[in-house]
Amino acid sequence: MAIEGPEKESKIEIIKRESRYLRGTIKEALQDDKPMFSEENAQILKFHGVYQQDDRDLRLKLKKEGKDKHYIMMVRARIPGGVLSPDQYLVFDRLADEYTDYGTLRITTRQTIQLHGVLKGNLKKTIQLLNEALVTTLGACGDQVRNIICCAAPGDEPFRAEMREDLLALVDRLGAKTNAYHEIWLDGEPVRLSEGQTEEPLYGEVYLPRKFKVAMVPEGDNCIDVYDNDVGLVAHLEDQHVVGYTVLVGGGMGRTASDQGTYPRLASPLCYVSRKDLVDTVVDTVTAIVTIERDYGDRANRRFARMKYLIDRRGLDWFRQEVEARLGRTLEPPRPLVWHNGADHLGWHRERQGFSYLGLYIPNGRIRDTETMRLKSVLRDIVREFRPTVRLTTQHNVILSDIPDELRPAIEQRLRDAGVPLPNEVSTVRRNAMACVALPTCGLAVAESERALPGLLPQFEQLFNELGLSNETITIRMTGCPNGCARPYNADIAFVGRSLGKYDVFLGGSRLGTSLNKLFKELVPFDQLVDTVRPVLEAFVREREPGEDFGSFCRRVGLERFRDTEPTLS
């Protein structure tokens, strides 16, 4: 493959090139007694689904004691579409207890599970046990196509099974093929390649310039924020069957606060592909798109390596022509899209005759036991006894599916006895709020998020109640840095960490995930966040047009009139 770009590659590119298809010296490092990996191996570990971190709460204490950091690993699985069997879920539950510092599971906004606080000495056993349950971590992180997400709602409509089939076909085509994963973690034998063969026919020895995200959703139900992905596939339905997909390209949430040349972007409609021949249309089209990013993405400056910057630099017309050249056919124009819903699938819903599913609210995606709510324990007991399929959502909630209708009262009672509220007992504010992990484990975090949002939500509940907005769907999202893992930039209200205790405030996104918000105020202290937003919410109540939502109101009236307003202290 011919890779375009400056002669000077970034340091990460050199590490990838010299890694021997993701081997590095990881296998050897697992045998030493050091608590951490080298910088080079830490970069390659990401492709294996592992981030090397340290407990930042302990940094200062350990430094004063003259000790090194407390190194820990975050292990992230690849779970296509977020679907787990009961036994697979129970393996995660057991691993959290046996091999992590925190004893918790963290559902991510990409329908997978992270185990935080795994020590280096327990890393291989953790990954082996996941693979014994037919769960891999290869492809969960790194510069490759990551976990492919899809609307998690189950049902007996034919289109759901068809989308699942298409998703798995994409996973098979776009997944890394290196044998390094099996050699390192599963004690597999090195594979001898014939002359002319390559270990990575799609990725080559340097993989992609940056991470690459793919998402699938049925038209009308944007529960996954499909526009936030490098590639979005929107299924068009006729008689409850998928007839084809509109392909969206160039989405991405990440930005760097200090670099105005970086920005979040929503994906642009590129084309329509029929489903009549899956491999020759949908899978080949997405593969062609991935190879364009592989060949033309920026490999010198990682800030600009996502595909959104390539598309904006070259233009969508150039990109479309490049896809057509690689496919050898003309692309059909994209179809118009209509959206009705952006909320998660919480509560009880009919799944099929005699069976229901329950969408369960998980505070900030963290499955754990507390003094007042034994969430982890009760989920383990329900899964062990009633054997539901476990589905993870991109709003980091859980769906328990395949539940016989006669078992619904028993499951509700189990949840109540454990102090776990049913979704209709959770405020609208909380159901529409998300936070990233941030401190103490994320190395990129500059501010609190998951640990801070719970202190903010009661204030918003009080304010919404005061303004008569308690039943209004207004999305609130918080991140510990500008990278945007909790998808803040298309939320109605977003708080993006800039420094410890201070946040940039963004307003005016869309509850349907179809509009970006705008920067409202910078470096607002945590204790002033609610009061900073209050004047805009008060104006919304006074001036909204019939049926107008908060994001639409902000975009219609603009934010300039509010920027000089001092916070109304409550």
Enzyme catalytic residues: 76, 146, 211, 213, 436, 442, 481, 485
Distance (Å) of CA 275 to CA 55, 166, 280, 284, 467 = 47, 9, 9, 12, 48
Cα 306 → chain centroid? 16
* Residue-by-residue DSSP string for 505-524: EEE---TTS-S--EEEEEEE
Give CA–CA dist 479/506, Å, rounded.
12
Which residues in 239-340 belong to E strands, given as ranges? Answer: 241-249, 268-274
Contact 110, 148 (CB under 8 A): no
DSSP 317-352: HHHHHHHHHHHTSPPBPPPP----B-S---EEEEEE
Q: Let me know how long the chain is.
A: 570
Contacts of 501 (CB under 8 A, 6+ apart): 447, 448, 525, 526
Angle between helices 316-327 and 284-296 (to 10 degrees): 120
Q: Are 523 and 447 in contact (CB under 8 A)?
A: no
Question: How big is the CA angle at 85 (ends 79 and 91), to the nearest 5 degrees?
Answer: 80
d(CA 7, CA 342): 44
Query: Exposure of 215 by Cβ count < 10 A (0-12 exposed, 13-18 middle, 19+ buried)?
Result: buried
Q: Which of 392, 460, 383, 397 is nearest to 429 (CA)?
A: 460
Cα separation, 488 vs 504, in Å, equals 11
* Residue 309 burial (CB count, 10 A): 22
Distance CA 275, CA 282 (A): 7
Sequence letter at residue 520: F
User: What residues pair up with 150 in beta bridges, in sequence order?
Assistant: 216
**Shortest CA distance to 308 belongs to which of 216, 201, 213?**
213
